[in-house]
Amino acid sequence: MAKDIGIDLGTANVLINVQGKGIVLDEPSVVAINTNTERLLAVGSEAYKMVGRTPGNIRAVRPLKDGVIADFDMTEQMLSYFIKKLNVKGLVSKPNILICCPTGTTDIERKAIRQAAEKSGSSVVYVDVEPKVAAVGAGLDIFKPVGNMVVDIGGGTSDIAVLSLGDIVASSSLRVAGDRLNTDIVNFVRQNFGLLIGEHTAERIKIEIGTAVADHRHEETQVRGRDVVNGLPKEITLDSNQIEGAIHDTLESIVVAAKALLGQIPPELAADIIDHGVMLTGGGALIDGLAELFSEHLGVPVHVSETPLQDVAKGTGILLETPEKITDLK
């Protein structure tokens, strides 16, 4: 019998949940190809190690950008590779698949996501929205007549949604998230220290010393890169407050969008959110001080999910147990 598969097709990472086994795969959404032959060389973790370190004939690419498919063929090959890699005993070639997309995707973008899953080998493909599935994975009971608000900050998109009775009442999707924060750090380091750093280094800085609130964290880290002026290797020291300044405007834009959404919902749902608070999920939820930043601006309690990186994948597993609760987007 086919085991159903839930896929969190993220801009930064792909997670796959197999029925009865839980999350069995968590790898970066990266593929490496030989540009001379267009042959696939590596996928996932192996390809991620190559980012910024490849010779001219090898290109490491992320086939998803801002939460949507930027390169259809590469996405399809990546998904096929991951599903084959599972090699789960009893997993026949045609499982049902639930795959997730941001709330702001167009019909054409959703169709591309569905087709990529179908071509990678499936019987039935369901497509549902990330904030709903993440809310389920984070343990919220969204199927009661009670308002729940979730802010899902991923790699490419930040999805903000208010849910009730199993569906989205109001939502907002920004193509501003973890990747933008990395870019903010790269730009800050170049402009203020004349140092060129790569995406991997920016990600490390964000995790090690990043904070959403000034003076909330006091950490330092050494950063190596290439001097803009003379092209030679150079090392500097950065601290948490500098990174707060670098990522402040981007985080502020997500907070402003969440505040605007609260202003659009019925007063009864707003009252529920005052009682239950807001749930932060996605990799961005791990940024130090983010809950405090949101709580200060929204005036409601804000909680960080226990497993923010896995909530969408966990939610797919729960929803596949009761497919009638899936909002299959066409």
Q: Which residues are annotated as a binding site for ATP?
A: 11-13, 155-157, 203-206, 283-286
What is the four-CA torsion angle of 246, 247, 250, 256, rounded to 10 degrees? -110
- Per the CB < 8 A criterion, the answer to whether 59 and 33 are in contact is yes
Q: How far is CA 45 from the centre of its chain?
A: 16
CB burial readout 225-258, b (16+ within 10 A) else e: beeeeeeeebebebebbbbbebbeebbeebbebb
Q: Are 197 and 186 in contact (CB under 8 A)?
A: yes
Phi, psi torsion values for 194, nearest 5 degrees: 60, 35
| Angle CA 22–178–112, to nearest 5 | 65
Strand segments (E) across 248-314: 278-281, 302-304
Binding-site residues, in ranges, read 11-13, 155-157, 203-206, 283-286
Q: Residues near 79 by Cβ (< 8 Å), separated by ≥ 6?
A: 7, 9, 14, 116, 117, 119, 120
Residue 9 in tokens: 């097709």
SS3 of residue 231 by DSSP = coil
CA distance 238 to 251: 19
For 323, the 3-state DSSP assignment is helix
